[in-house]
Amino acid sequence: MLDFAASPDSAPPFAAQIGDLQRRLEAEAARRIEAEARAESAEAEAAALLARNRELRTRLGSLQFAHSKLKQKHEAAAGELRSLRRELRDPIRLQKEVERLRGLLAEAKVDSRRNSPLMRLRKEAAGLREELRHSEAERASLQDRLRVSEAGHMATRDHLKRVLGQRAELRRAAFGRRSEKSRRVGGTSDAGGDKRPRGQQPGAGGHGRTPRPDLGARTETLKPDPDRCLCKSCGKPYVANGAHASEIIEIAVKAHVRRIRRPRFRRGCDCSDSPAQAAAAPVPRLFPNTPFGTSVWALYLNEACGNLRPIRRAAAWLSDQGLAVSAGTLAGRHRDFLRLFRPIEQAIAERLSQAALCQGDETGWRVQEFAAAGRRSARAWLWMGGCADCVRFLVDRSRSAEAAARLFAGARPGAFLVCDRYSACRKLARLHERGIVLCFCWSHARRDFLACASGDDDLLDWQEGWMRLFGAAFAGNRRRLQLWDPARGLDGQDGAFKEADAGLRLQVGRLFAAAEAESGELPETDRRRKALQSLARHRDGLSVFLDHPQAPMDNNFSERNLRGAAILRKLAFGSDSAGGAEFTAVMPAAVRTMRMNGLDAGKWLEQWLEACAAGRGPPSDLGPRLPWSMGRRRRERFGAGSRGKAACGIRR
C-alpha cells in the first residue's frame, strides 16, 4: 500500500481531489474516445462487414430458394405416392379376382399360365411395387436434405445475427453518439440510484460575478447636444448637476506595428576612452530576420496547441486580426520551437517519473511522411502519460510495450499506473526494473457488457442487470471517498469509512463471483462469455482501488487529455512529417501542463519566449518558470481563473 503521509519526499496527497474529479466525471457520463483508436479502420471494417452481410443474405436467399424447391419436390413425391397407393388398390382387387378366377379355372381344369393378360398384370404389379420402394427412398432422402437445409439455415441466421451485432457496434463507434447510457428508453441508470438532476441545485449559493481586478479602464464622457442644455422658455443654459456613471466591458483585438526609435548620441569630446556613439540596446527578437515579435508567436502557439486550431486555420485567424501571415511561415518555425521547449519537455518527463500515481493511454495518429518513405501506412500512435500536475505526449510508430516504456521508463518504484487492459501495459509492468502497479479501468470493463447487446435486443435485460452491478460499485466508491482522510492511511480511518469500505468490498466480490459463475454456464460460442471471462481474468488489476483509495476506478483523465488530439486529428488529418509529429507531442504538453496548474498559458508562453529571446536560447534556471516550483507571487501573475482548470478537468 502506498502511504502518502509516511514519505516526506513523495508528492502531496491528492486523493481528495481525485474524489472530487470522480463526482464531476459521473455527471458528464460520457465516453468520448474509446473507438477513436480504431476510427481509421472502422470504415473499412464496416464496409467489409456490409459486403459479408450481403454475401450471407445472398447465400441465405439461395438456401431458402433451394429449400422451397425441395419442399415442392417433396410435396410432389408425396402426392405421387398417394396416387400410387390409390392406383395399387385396383391391382390388389384384380389380384383377388385373379385368385378367384384361378380357382374357377382349376375347378374347370384350365391352365392359367397360358393366359397372357394375367401375366401382364402380375408384371405390372411387380413394377409398381418397385417404383413404390424407389419413391419411399427418394422421400426419405428429401427429408434428410430438408433437415440439413434447416440446420444450415439456423446456423446462417445465428452467424448473420452476430455479424449484424458487430456492424451495429462498429457503426456506433465510428458514427454514433459517444454516450454509454442504456439504449432502452426509461431504463435504469448505472449511477447506483443517484437521481441528482443536472445543473445548479435549488438552494445552492451562486458564485456571483467573476472579479476582474486587472482589467484596464478607459473613461468616456458623453455630453448631450447643446440645444438640450438650454431652457426652451428663457434660453438660459443648464447648470451642471453631477453625472450618471456606468460600466460596459468591451474587447478589441487587432494587430499593430511596433515602431521602435532608438536615438543615437555621438561623443562631443576628444577623449578616446569612451565609445564614439551611444544608443539603447535593440529589442531582442525570438528569431533573426523576422518581423514578428514574441507576442505573435505566443498567440500562435496558444491557438494551435491550446485551442486546437490547425496551422492553416491559425493563419486565417491571425489574418482576421489584421496580421496577414501564411501557414508556411508558421510551420517553418516548428523546429526552432522544439529547441526552445526541449528543457520544458524534459522537466515534465522528470516530474512524471516522480509521481506516485499516473495514468496512461494511447490513440491513433497519422504521419504522412511514413507512407511517403515506403511504409504501407501512415499509421502512428500518440501516447499520453500524466499525473496530477503535468501531462506528456509521445508520437511513436509502434503500439508495443517498448513505446510505453519510453514514456514511463523512469517511473518511481511501486508507482500506480491507471490504464486500460491493453497487453502492452501488462508487458510494461513485467519489464520495468523497479515495478509498476497496474490499475485497470472499470469503464473499459463496463464497456464490454454494453457492446454485447449491440444489435441484439434479447440481451437488453441481461445488460441492464450488469449495468446496475457496475453502477453500485461506482456509487459505493464515491460514498467511501467522501469519508476518506488521506492523512490517516487505510487502517486509521474512522468507523463510517470502514463501514462504507466493507460494503464496497462486498459489492465488488459479488460482482466477480457472478461473472465467474455465469461464464461457466454459458456455451463457448455465446458472445457474453468473452466479456465475463475478461472481467474475471483482470480481477487483480481491477481490485487495486480497494486497498488504495487514492487510485481512481477509471482512466477518464487520460481520455480527456487525448480528446484534444483526437479533435485535432480530425481537423488536420495528423502530421505531415516526423518533425511535425514531435511538435504535436512537445508543445501541447507544455500548454496543457500550464493550464492544469491554473496558469494562463498565453501569458506564460509570452514570458517564456521573451526570456528565450533575451538569452538567445532557453533559460538555464527553470525553477521560477515551472508551475510546481514557481513562487506564489509569480503564480498570481499567470493566474488563469476557471478556464485553464476546466480545460483539463483538474480541480486543485
* 48 in any annotated domain: yes
pLDDT over 90 at 604, yes or no? yes
Q: Which three cell numbers stand for residue 588?
A: 501541447
Q: At what angle do helices 442-452 and 460-482 cross, to 10 degrees?
A: 160
Grid coordinates representing 130 are: 418397385
Task: Determine the number of helices (DSSP H) and then strands (DSSP E) in the chain.
Answer: 21, 7
Q: Is it the case that residue 454 has pLDDT exceeding 80?
A: no
| 491 occurs within a structural domain | yes
Answer whether residue 140 is part of any domain.
yes
Query: What is the mean pLDDT of the segment spanning 205-214?
Result: 75
> What are 211-254's pLDDT values in tens digits?
777 777 888 888 888 888 888 888 888 888 888 888 888 877 78
Residue with cell 529547441: 339
First to last CA, the chain: 24
| Containing structural domain, residue 130 | 42-170
pLDDT, position 118 = 57
Between 351 and 122, residue with greater pLDDT = 351
Of the three residues 151, 170, 189, the one that is the final residue of a domain is 170
The whole-number pLDDT of residue 131 equals 85
How far apart are the C-alpha atoms of 168 and 175, rounded to whole Å?
Answer: 10
For the residues 619-637, what does the mean pLDDT come to?
Answer: 88
Domain count, the chain: 2
How much is the mean pLDDT over the chain? 82
β-partners of residue 383 are 362, 394
* pLDDT (tens digit per residue) in 40-49: 677 777 778 8
Average pLDDT over every residue of 122-148? 83
Separation of alpha carbons 583 and 573, rounded Å:
15
- Per residue in 259-291, pLDDT (tens digit) is 889 888 888 888 888 888 888 888 888 888 888
Supply the Cα-derived Rg of the chain in whole angstroms.
40
In-domain check, residue 585: no
CB 548 within 8 A of CB 2: yes
Q: Which residue has the higher pLDDT, 193 or 459?
A: 459
In a domain, 111, yes or no: yes
Least confident of 144-153, 186-195, 507-516, 629-638: 186-195
How open is the CA angle 499-502-508, to the nearest 5 degrees?
140
- How many CA atoms within 13 Å lie on the side-chain side of 42? 19
In this prediction, residue 80 has a pLDDT band, given cuts at 50, 70 and 90, of: confident
User: Is the confidence at residue 21, as pLDDT, over 70?
Assistant: yes
Confidence of residue 113 (pLDDT cuts 50, 70, 90): low
CA distance 621 to 603: 19
What's the pLDDT score for residue 49? Answer: 84
Q: Give the confidence band of 390 by pLDDT, cuts at 50, 70, 90.
A: very high
Residue 277 has what pLDDT?
84
Under a CB-based contact definition with an 8 Å cutoff, are residues 65 and 57 in contact? no
Pick from 139, 170, 201: which residue ends a domain? 170
What is the distance between the alpha carbons of residues 68 and 138, in angstroms, rounded to a whole number? 17
- Please tell me the predicted confidence (pLDDT) of residue 417: 92
Share of the chain above pLDDT 70, in %: 85
Element spanning 463, H or E: helix 460-482
Determine the pLDDT at residue 517: 93
pLDDT tens, position by position, 114-125: 555 656 676 777
Of 414, 416, 413, nearest to 385 by C-alpha is 416
Highest mean pLDDT among 60-64, 409-413, 586-590: 586-590
Q: What is the pLDDT of residue 105?
A: 67
**Inside any domain, residue 521:** yes
Whether residue 541 is contained in a domain is answered as yes
Which of 128-132, 250-254, 432-436 is least confident? 432-436
The helix-helix angle for 495-521 and 460-482 (nearest 10°) equals 160
Predicted local distance difference test score (pLDDT) of residue 176: 62
* Average of per-residue pLDDT across 446-464: 84
The pLDDT of residue 504 is above 90: yes
**Which of residues 262 and 9 earns the better pLDDT score?**
262
| Predicted confidence (pLDDT) per residue in 547-577, tens digit | 999 999 999 999 999 998 888 888 888 888 8
Q: Helix 601-615 crosses helix 294-301 at what angle (to 10 degrees)?
A: 140
Cα–Cα distance for residue pair 179/167, rounded to 1 Å: 18
Residue 576: the pLDDT is 87
Q: Which of 170, 202, 219 is the last residue of a domain?
A: 170
- Percent of the chain surpassing pLDDT 90: 28
Give residue 109's pLDDT: 61
* Res. 161: pLDDT tops 60: yes
Residue 138 included in any domain: yes
Taking residues 488-498, what's their average pLDDT? 87
Give the separation between CA 126 and CA 520, rounded to whole angstroms: 61
Provide the pLDDT for residue 370: 84
Q: What angle do CA 319, 321, 324 make, to 5 degrees?
A: 25
Most confident of 137-141, 266-270, 420-424, 439-443: 439-443
Check if the beta carbon of residue 456 is closer than 8 Å to that of residue 480. Answer: no
Beta bridge partners of 382: 363, 395
Q: Contact at 8 Å (CB) between 410 and 355?
A: no
The highest-confidence range among 30-44, 279-293, 587-601, by mean pLDDT, is 587-601
